[in-house]
Chains A and B, each alone.
Chain A
Amino acid sequence: MGKQLAAVIGVGQTHYRAKREDVSMAGLCREAVDRAMADANVGFDDIDAVVVGKAPDLFEGVMMPELYLSDALGAEGKPLLRVHTAGSVGGSTCNVAASLVQAGVHKRVLAVTFEKQSESNAMWALSVPVPFIMPVHAGAGGYFAPHVRSYIRRSEAPVHVGAIVAAKDRQNANKNPFAHLRNPDITVESVLDSQMLWDPIRYDETCPSSDGACAVVIADEDTASSSPNPAWIHGTVMRTEPTTAAERDQVNPQAGREAAAAIWKQAGITDPYREIDCAEIYVPFSWFEPMWLENLGFAEEGSGWKLTEAGVTALDGDLPVNMSGGVLSSNPIGASGMIRFAEAALQVRGAAGEHQVPDARKALGHAYGGGSQFFAMWVVGADKPV
């Protein structure tokens, strides 16, 4: 039978906030699910299977919460899968849902991801001491700061490039009604004036901790063909390498490079910089924009920061990056990867509202997790893949 075509026909998001104390986890997920199904013009009866993704269960204190959520997600009597691949999980959840359609197993799959960080404490959840395993004392920022320092040293990037990314993403967020952080006055200078947290990462260069959920409906070719604006899936990829190994390069990880090479090949793309119209890249700390631009092959090694500095990645640049405001503006961890994938779909569907890139035809969604070791990506297009 071969691989079947699949497309995103519905996207739903909650408003991302520090604390959503007005809803339960089920209520939070349903906000996103109901919006995605309304967008896709489908009801629960049309859904064949449900795929749930989220980051560590300790973040909410519920073991395998999809079991309790099955009623609220309309999964009763249906196949229900729960994906967990660290920070990349939102992307992986999309990819697993897509594979169910591409394999010809199902026609319409609902994928939903969430995090309700206010239920517990992520810093605590990440800091449980484990024998024989290197502790991540200061949370993710403390883990990644040395990689950023190494990047700056290797690439000889000017130290304000991180602030350019932060100011750009937060300004983009002001155009996104779902974004968590809103700050119309943010500038490169104000970012540089903010407190240093993990040198060289400043407070304003760091992602927030958010409550929120995101959902997508992925459909087969027949269903998608009657949708007014499907986002056709041109390729999906996942790659993994271990956390600690002497031969790893955590600044420019091999898993990311190989994932990028595989996704460009699958999507028939030979020059990503020219052929991709916009990209949502997982940037939880500002400097990861130039780092991932290189890892993804949009720029030569050591020159990603030049694209950022020249304004290429701005909303009106040649290669807009993180039009939604990115992880720097909204970060319900388990959903953060899916939000990137969903934003890529919204762009090629022409449904991104104020932060729409004019005539976006092909977009990349990217997520990473763990110690820069889990990568998930997809390329979506306004046209069917050739």
Chain B
Amino acid sequence: MRDVAVVGFAQRQMAQFDGSPTMVELLVPLFADLYEQTGWGRKDIGFWCSGSSDYLAGRSFSFVSAVDAIGTLPPVNESHVEMDAAWALYEAWVKIQTGEVDTALVYGFGKSSAGLLRRVLSLQLDPYVLTPLWPDSVSIAAMQARLGLESGRWSEKDLAEVVAASRAAAIDNDYALLSGETSVDDLLAEPMFSDPLRRHDCAPVTDGAAAIVLAAGDRAREVSDRPAWIAGFEHRSDGQNLSLRDLARVPSLAAAAAALDLDGVGVAELHTPFSHQELMVREELGLDSDAVVNPSGGPLAGNPMFSGGLIRIGEAARRVWDGTTERALAHATSGPALQQNLLCVLEGSH
């Protein structure tokens, strides 16, 4: 495999983006950030790949307008996934592995505030037997949380501790929507939102975008003395049928983890939009007990759809760049109740 590294990362997160669902106005400054970080321009990018959803934008071909952010002519080598941009990053990494290109810029965007997100996500379910019942994404996550409470795997207090840790960590994150010191007792005094989940157990509805630059070998060293090298990259899907799945387990995540070497991971950024899912993912991964989880605050502090997973990779890479850790792990998820999972291991020396 070719050595490929994350060499640039830019993001924006907000409760409500006051602009078009195509997000072009947000993507242009993100790309400018990346050109500044890398010292490169548009023509240095060998491949472009994005992740977004038409349903979030409420229109067909939403990514088509987003291409405007790249610029006009000459044409670019470009692709798009209807998934979180973490999977666009995977496609770009594969493209670099073919040897056709040495660099790639990957971006994701989504304006969740344009609709009622939990209801929009009901449309991800089986259209014949499940969507007509309109089970929404929060309710499905609540069923999953309930399983753990009833089996004794976690308590409501455990969930509140995850939230308190996220809020405290997010104090240092300029992009976080929710941050600050809070106590477990205060959190448990809040009313139920979708029993057993309180509002703070669920990631806030977030608008935003993010972008990452990948580069191979010497192109990466051109940008930085310490790029975040990709040491492992795996993703898997579970089946969706909620009646056939054991919602208490995440076999696709366990399978992805089994294909990787997770020893010595010092920092893990986990894409867990619900507090109990952080506990589930930690357990499936079997991380070292001293590994720092979600130092950015994670998705409970801010979770823009379709870039939330990519942001985890960017946040993990940042902590390799600045020497916080030698090895970092990033996780991304997609679909109801952690159906699809992606893992990316990043390291400082390679």
Show the binding face of A for B, using Cβ within 8 Å.
1-3, 24-25, 55-68, 70-71, 75-86, 92, 95-96, 99-100, 102-105, 119, 125-126, 128, 130-133, 237-245, 247-248, 253-255, 258-259, 370-371, 373-374
Contact = CB atoms under 8 A, between A and B. Distances in A.
Contacts of A96: 79, 91, 94
B126 interface: yes
Contacts, number: 198
Given A3-B99, A240-B67, A57 B237 contact: no
A70 B237 contact: yes
A361 to B, nearest CB: 24
Contact of A258 (B60, B70, B74): B74
A1 B1 contact: yes
Contacts of A68: 124-127, 240
Given A70-B237, A126-B60, A83 B79 contact: yes
Contact of A2 (B54, B87, B99, B124): B99
Given A83-B79, A84-B82, A259-B75, 20 more contacts: A58-B55, A58-B60, A62-B131, A66-B82, A70-B239, A70-B339, A83-B80, A84-B80, A99-B95, A99-B98, A103-B98, A126-B60, A133-B65, A237-B77, A240-B75, A240-B78, A241-B74, A243-B67, A255-B75, A258-B74
Contact of A247 (B64, B73, B100, B128): B73
Contacts of B82: 57, 64, 66, 82-84
A71 B252 CA distance: 13
B127 A25 contact: yes
Interface in B241-278: 241, 244, 251-252, 255
Given A103-B97, A125-B60, A241-B75, A62 B237 contact: no
9 contacts: A2-B99, A59-B60, A62-B127, A64-B335, A67-B339, A82-B82, A83-B80, A255-B75, A374-B78
B237 A61 contact: no
Contacts of B239: 70-71, 75-76
Which 10 A-B residue pairs are closest in the complex by CB-CB distance? A103-B97, A56-B60, A255-B75, A240-B78, A80-B237, A63-B123, A71-B239, A63-B55, A245-B72, A84-B82
A259 B74 CA distance: 11
Nearest to A106: B94
A238 B335 contact: no
B336 A67 contact: yes
B312 interface: no
B238 A243 contact: no
Interface string B328-350: 00000011100110000000000
A62 B123 contact: yes
How many B residues are at the interface, by size bracket? 35 or more
Contacts of A99: 91, 94-95, 98
Contacts of A71: 239-241, 244
Interface of B: 1-2, 20-22, 48, 53-55, 58-61, 63-65, 67-68, 70-83, 87, 90-91, 94-95, 97-100, 120-121, 123-128, 131, 234-241, 244, 251-252, 255, 334-336, 339-340
A109 B87 CA distance: 17
Nearest to B335: A67
B72 A81 contact: no
Given A240-B76, A242-B68, A128 B87 contact: no
A309 B131 CA distance: 51
B68 A103 contact: no
B73 A248 contact: yes
Contact of B237 (A78, A83, A238, A371): A78
B89 to A, nearest CB: 12
B173 to A, nearest CB: 28
A244 to B, nearest CB: 8
Contacts of A92: 79
B78 A370 contact: no
Contacts of A55: 60
Chief secondary structure at chain A's binding surface? loop
B63 A84 contact: yes
Contacts of A253: 75
A3 B238 contact: no
Given A68-B125, A133-B65, A241 B336 contact: no
A82 B58 CA distance: 19
Contacts of B59: 58, 128, 130
Contacts of A374: 64, 78
A71 B123 CA distance: 17
Given A76-B237, A248-B72, A238 B83 contact: no
Most buried by B among A75, A86, A242: A242
B191 to A, nearest CB: 30
B81 to A, nearest CB: 6
B65 A243 contact: yes
B54 A56 contact: yes
A21 to B, nearest CB: 12
Given A3-B99, A24-B128, A105-B94, A67 B53 contact: no
B131 to A, nearest CB: 8
Contacts of A70: 237-240, 339
Contacts of B131: 62
Contact of B75 (A80, A126, A239): A239
Contacts of A239: 75-78
A102 B2 CA distance: 13
Given A77-B255, A99-B98, A258-B74, A63 B79 contact: no
A82 B64 contact: no
A77 B254 CA distance: 10
A57 B55 contact: yes
Contact of A58 (B54, B70, B98): B54
A213 to B, nearest CB: 16
A243 B240 contact: no
A238 B91 CA distance: 13
Nearest to A83: B81
A267 B124 CA distance: 40
Contacts of A24: 128
B72 A247 contact: yes
Most buried by B among A1, A58, A79: A79
Nearest to B233: A105
Most buried by B among A59, A63, A96, A126: A63
Given A76-B237, A78-B237, A63 B121 contact: yes
